[in-house]
Amino acid sequence: MKKEMPFLEHIEELRKHVIHSLCAIIIAMVLLMNNKHILFDYILFGPAKTDFITYRMFSKLENFLFKKKSIFHFSKNLEIQNRKIFGQFNTYVWTCFIGGIILSFPYVFYEFWKFIKPALSEKEKKYSQKIIAIVTFLFSLGIFFGYFVLCPFLIYFGYSFKISSFPRNVFDLSDYISLMMHSILSMGITFLFPVFIYFLTKIELLSYSFLKKYRKHAFLIIFIIASAITPGDILSTIIVLIPLIILYQLSLYISFSLSKKN
């Protein structure tokens, strides 16, 4: 039998893992701060440039399918301005902090997994490496989807939509960075949906029959989530909606597999 750990020892153990996670985030943050040229010029401001890979690929695809010049492009690089005295510094620190969380996420999850591992059965412990690998893969996939697919469409929509030809679109630095970080991080977390379903099914808060019975309701909620993440135009909503539906179907399969084992 496993010896139960006193409550205070649980707290002490949790504190140790939290400190390790914070150290990893700080290290990743410092790494990004020392490479701000790459982080901002090449990564975050990439979708604001006319030669960004997503715009070029979509342009080639549209030209191949419809034999016409793509409408999905910028005539020039976006204009981004800073109107606050410490705007650039605050954006620099905050972006590096969020970037540190994203960069260190696999290790942070590993620390969380080490904390709950003693409570798992021997069979569940065998799947530790697989689960950590799956979480890292899904989170990274969501990050890439948010950066290469969602962000360009959101930026293009914000740039091209005009109430009149009189106002000129010049984007605020903090607003642009906030859009980028929110879209990227939210998609990274959203793509972990099958993992959440796995744990909820394991502790019997959810079941395959429940997920299947309320599938239509789930699709409605997914549509609302997709609309909340995007600015509301139908194209961007569909772009986010498709992977979310695929993830829900994957969650159904996971829940079904667990129900068969039980």
| 135 & 253 share domain | no
| 116 & 212 share domain | no
Q: Distance between CA 37 and CA 22 in Å, rounded? A: 24
Residue-level pLDDT at 3? 52
| 74 & 37 share domain | yes
For tokens 């179907």, the residue is: 249
Is 259 part of any domain?
Answer: yes
Is 42 part of any domain?
Answer: yes
Q: Distance between CA 169 and CA 157 in Å, rounded? A: 12
CB-CB neighbours of 11 under 10 Å: 10
Residue-level pLDDT at 80? 94
| 168 & 46 share domain | yes
For tokens 């400190």, the residue is: 19
| 119 & 211 share domain | no
Residue 22 structure tokens:
């914070």
The pTM score is: 0.85
Q: Which of 191, 221, 238 is the last residue of a domain?
A: 191
Residue-level pLDDT at 259? 64
Query: Residue 132 sits in which domain range?
Result: 7-191
Residue-level pLDDT at 1? 44
Residue-level pLDDT at 220? 87
Tell me which residues of the chain have a pLDDT lower than 70. Answer: 1-8, 10, 67-73, 119-125, 127-128, 231-233, 258-262
Residue-level pLDDT at 258? 65
